[in-house]
């Protein structure tokens, strides 16, 4: 587990972390919003680097983060924007392989820890599979720690040369349900628990 202290030594500015998302799948964006909310509550300054559409949908600013619009990966301006956003970071946390590669390039020559969370396994065939292995190897070696949402992702990171690879379950907030749907779920819950044999335990 990576521990983030909520208190800075006297006279020192609070810890600053940069969360890097690419296009951002729904799962990784929701995870970053949840993570950001928790970090901000602990006094950490958070900058989320993601396309503007991700901020409009997931409202990273609404939970206390600074949002920096970083164009999608095929935009040549994205690297310069990302480099500037990471300039005074104490830690950079990239989500997904392509975001991690861009973060590693942005941090090139800097002594800033890079944490990478792999949310899903990329897939490719033929020549693209070879390129994928090279990208994974580059990211695994650049990262201080690689977190995988499943054990196969952790094993894959280790096989690509990660110095430290760990299983880290990605928690997402429960989706909000309309009241009627919530009442139906409450009514059906005891039946489902009985069918699973879980009536007397959580």
Domains in the chain, CATH or no CATH each: 16-176 (3.40.50.11720)
Closest to 68 measured CA to CA, from 37, 47, 90, 39:
47
pLDDT in tens, 90-100: 999 999 998 99
Q: What is the pLDDT of residue 94?
A: 95
Q: What is the pLDDT of residue 117?
A: 92
Contact 117, 149 (CB under 8 A): yes
Contact 116, 160 (CB under 8 A): no
Q: How confident is the model at residue 127 (pLDDT cuts 50, 70, 90)?
A: confident
Q: What is the pLDDT of residue 121?
A: 80
Q: What is the pLDDT of residue 48?
A: 96
């Amino acid at each position: 587990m990576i521990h983030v202290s909520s208190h800075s030594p006297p006279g020192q500015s609070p810890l600053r972390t940069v969360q890097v998302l690419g296009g951002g799948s729904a799962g990784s964006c929701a995870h970053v919003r949840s993570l950001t909310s928790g970090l901000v509550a602990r006094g950490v300054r958070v900058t989320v680097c993601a396309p503007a559409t991700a901020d409009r949908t997931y409202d990273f600013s609404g939970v206390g983060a600074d949002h920096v619009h970083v164009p999608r990966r095929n935009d040549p301006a994205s690297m310069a924007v990302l480099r500037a956003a990471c300039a005074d970071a104490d830690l950079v946390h990239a989500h997904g392989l392509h975001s991690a590669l861009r973060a590693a390039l942005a941090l090139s020559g800097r002594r800033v820890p890079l944490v990478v969370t792999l949310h899903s396994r990329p897939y490719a065939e033929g020549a693209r599979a070879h390129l994928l292995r090279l990208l994974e190897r580059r990211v695994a070696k650049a990262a201080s720690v690689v977190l995988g949402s499943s054990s196969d992702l952790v094993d894959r990171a280790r096989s690509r040369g990660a110095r430290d690879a760990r299983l880290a379950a990605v928690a997402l907030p429960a989706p909000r349900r309309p009241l009627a749907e919530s009442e139906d779920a409450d009514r059906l819950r005891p039946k489902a628990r009985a069918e699973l044999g879980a009536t007397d335990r959580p």
